[in-house]
Chains A and B, each alone.
Chain A
Amino acid sequence: MAMLEGASSVDRLAPKVDAHEESLIRRIQNGEQELFYELVKPHERRVYTAAFAILRNPADAEEVAQEAMLKAFTHLKQFRAEARFSTWLIQIAVNEARMRLRKDHSEVMEPIGERQDDEGTYTPREFADWRELPSEALERSEIRQLLLEALASLKSKYREVFVLRDIHHLSIEEVAAILEISRASVKTRLLRARLMLRDFLAPRVAAGWFGREPFQKGNKPW
C-alpha cells in the first residue's frame, strides 16, 4: 500500500485540489479531529522521507515525522488552500528536521559540496561510462545503501533541494516556497546536487554494478 501511495508519476499529475482531502480538512477544522490520521495517512511516507533525507538517521527521522504531524494537527486551522496540503506538511517536516539538526550540531562530516564554490559552475570530475540502468538493482539493499550514502554526503542545502525535487517530485516553485529561496537558487542547487551525486556514483558503477571492490584509479576506461 505505502509503495503505491508514493507513486511519483501519479503524484506529478495529481490535481492541485483534492476534493476528498479538502472536505476532510474542513471537517477537522470544524472539530472532527479523529479524521486527522485519515488526512495524513497518504502523506506519512513522504513526511518520513523528507525528515530522513535531512537527518540521515531513521530514529531521528521518525521522531521528527511524528512531531511534524502533531504540529500540522495543532496548526491545521492556519492551513490555507493556496498550497497543496502535502507541500504544507513537507514544509513543516523540513523545518522540524532543520531545527533538530541545528540543535544536535550533527552536521560534522565534510560534505562533498564544500570542495567547489557554490555560485560558480560545477565541473564534473568523473567521466566513467554509465549507460546501463538496471532498475531491479534497487531491490538490493547494498545498492540502496550506497545511494543513500551518496545522498548523505551532500551538503544539506543541496540535499534538501534534491530530495524535494527529484525524490518527492515537487515543482521548482514548490521547492522554492518550502525552502524560502529563489527559483534560480533551486535550479542551481539542483543541478549541482545531480552532478555531485553522479560524480560520487559513476565510478562505483563503472567498476561493476556497485561491486564490492572499491574504485581503483587504474580502472578508468580512458
Chain B
Amino acid sequence: MVISCEQVWQEISNYLENEVDPSLRASIEEHVRGCKRCTAVLDGTRNIIQLYGDDRLFQVPMGYGWRLRRRLADYMPGRRGTAYGWLIAVAALGLFTATLGLARSAASAPPTARSEHAQPGKGIPSGLTVLVAGHGKLFHIAGCTFIHEKDGPVRSMTAGEAIKEGYTPCTRCLGEYLSRLANLLRKQAWAVLLL
C-alpha cells in the first residue's frame, strides 16, 4: 500500500505508540525510508517525546516541598500541635547532623556552642544546610516560621556560605537550635562520640 506524506503525519503518534496494524506499519516504514521530509518529522517527533518525557526538564523551586508542608500544617484545623511536631522533627534531624559535626570538632577543641550569647554564627556547624529568603538578612533552618515569602525566593546553602554572604542567624530558630544543641551535647556527648 502506497501512502502519502499527509497520511504518515496523521499516523505519527499512533506509529510511535505502536498502535498501528502491521500492514500500515510496513507502509509507513517504506514511505519514510524514501522520504526525507517524513524522516525529519518522525525523528523530530520522537525526540520531542523523549526530551519532554525527561524528569530533568522541570525543576521545582528550591524549598517548594517544605513550604507546601508548612502550608498544609498551618491549615489543618486544630492541628497546630502537629505542625509543631514536624518542626521539631526537622529541627531534631538538623540537630543530629549538626551534633555529629560538632562532636567531630570536639575531639580537638571543646564545643563553643554552650553559650546562648555566642557571636553571630558561632557554634553553628558551617556545613549545616540553612535557608535564606531573598532580601532578608537572616538565615534559618528549614521549618522556621519566620521565613517570609514576601522576602523573595528562598535559597538553601550551608551556614558557612550564609555567614560569608553576610546573613546572620535567626534568633528564633537558630537561637533555640543552639540552646538545644548545647543541652543535647551536655547530656549526650558521650553517646554521640560513640557514633
Which residues does A use to contact B, with CB under 8 Å?
A: 2-3, 6-8, 33-34, 36-37, 40-41, 44-45, 48-49, 52, 58, 62, 65-66, 69-70, 73, 121-124, 126-131, 133, 135, 137-139, 144, 147-148, 151, 162, 166-167, 169, 187, 190-191, 194-195, 197-198, 201-202, 205, 222
Contact = CB atoms under 8 A, between A and B. Distances in A.
B50 A48 contact: no
A131 B43 contact: yes
B152 to A, nearest CB: 10
Interface stretch (B64-72, B113-121, B167-175): B64-72
A137 B51 CA distance: 9
Given A3-B55, A162-B52, A166-B49, A44 B44 contact: no
Contacts of B58: 45, 48-49, 52, 167
B53 A123 contact: no
A171 to B, nearest CB: 11
Given A62-B64, A201-B48, A121 B57 contact: no
A50 to B, nearest CB: 10
B12 interface: yes
A33 B79 contact: yes
Interface string B27-68: 000000000110111011111111111111111110011011
B6 interface: yes
B10 A147 contact: no
Given A121-B9, A130-B47, A195-B12, A37 B69 contact: yes
Interface string B61-102: 100110111011101100100100110000000000000000
Contact of A70 (B6, B55, B71, B82): B71
A133 B40 contact: no
A138 B65 contact: no
Interface of B: 6, 9-10, 12-14, 36-37, 39-41, 43-61, 64-65, 67-69, 71-73, 75-76, 79, 82, 85-86
A151 B40 contact: no
Contacts of B56: 3, 138-139, 144
Contacts, number: 138
Closest 8 CB pairs between A and B? A198-B44, A34-B82, A138-B56, A130-B44, A6-B55, A127-B40, A191-B13, A127-B37
- Chain B, interface SS category: helix
Contacts of A122: 9
B40 A202 contact: yes
A41 B41 CA distance: 38
A147 B57 contact: yes
A160 B158 CA distance: 38
Given A33-B79, A44-B64, A201-B44, A148 B12 contact: no
A191 B49 contact: no
A91 B92 CA distance: 36
